[in-house]
Amino acid sequence: MRIDKYIWAIRVAKTRSMASSLCRDGKVEVDGKKVKASKVLKEGEEFTIRKGAIFYTYKVLSFPKSRVGASLVSDYSEDITSKEQLEKLEMIKLANIDRPKGLGRPTKKDRRNWAKSLGDD
C-alpha cells in the first residue's frame, strides 16, 4: 500500500492530500530516508512522521482496505514513538497552557519566563 494512503487510512492525516503533502515536504521517513508519497510499504516496516517539533514513529502491522475508525487503528498500526518525544510533547503543551488565548504575541518578558521554566539559559 502507498505510504500516503496508509497514513490517511490509519488517521494520522485528516485527508489524503494532507498525507501526500507530508511526504512531499520531506516530513515522512522510512529507514531514515525521506520518501515520496508513492513509496510502497511492507508489513513490519517502521516509518517516522515529523509534526511540528515531534517525531512520531509507527510500525505497520497490516493494511486496511479503506480508512478505518479510530477504535480499529490499533489493529493496523502500532505507535512506537519514543518516550523522549512524548515528554517533549507534554512540555510543549504545558508551556502553552498558562497563556490565555487571544493575548497576541508573547512579550520578551513572557519568553524569558518560559525559557527559565524549561531550564534554558
Q: Could you give the CA distance from residue 46 to residue 43 in angstroms, rounded to a whole number?
A: 9
Angle, alpha carbons 23-82-41 (nearest 5°) = 35
| Mean pLDDT in residue range 4-13 | 96
Q: Could you give the CA distance from residue 17 to residue 64 in angstroms, rounded to a whole number?
A: 18
| Mean pLDDT in residue range 95-108 | 76
Same domain, 62 and 106: no
Contacts with 75 (C-beta within 8 Å, 6 or more apart), sequence order: 61, 62, 68
Q: Which three cell numbers stand for residue 58?
A: 509507527
Q: What is the CATH number of the domain that holds 18?
A: 3.10.290.10
Rg (alpha carbons) of the chain, rounded to whole number:
17
Same domain, 48 and 99: no
Helix (H, G, I), strand (E, B) or coil at 28: strand
Same domain, 37 and 70: yes
Q: Which three cell numbers stand for residue 1?
A: 500500500
pLDDT digits (tens, 9 = 90+) for 46-96: 999 999 889 999 999 999 999 999 999 999 999 999 999 999 888 888 777
Same domain, 17 and 68: yes
- Does the pLDDT at position 121 exceed 60? no
What residue numbers bound the domain in which 100 lies? 82-121
Same domain, 65 and 18: yes
Same domain, 1 and 16: yes
**Percentages helix, strand, coil for the chain, rounded to the nearest 5?**
40, 20, 40
CB 31 within 8 A of CB 42: no
pLDDT-wise least confident of 2-6, 7-11, 20-24, 99-103? 99-103
> Which pLDDT value is given to residue 120?
62
Number of domains in the chain: 2
Same domain, 19 and 57: yes
- The mean predicted confidence, pLDDT, of the chain is 90
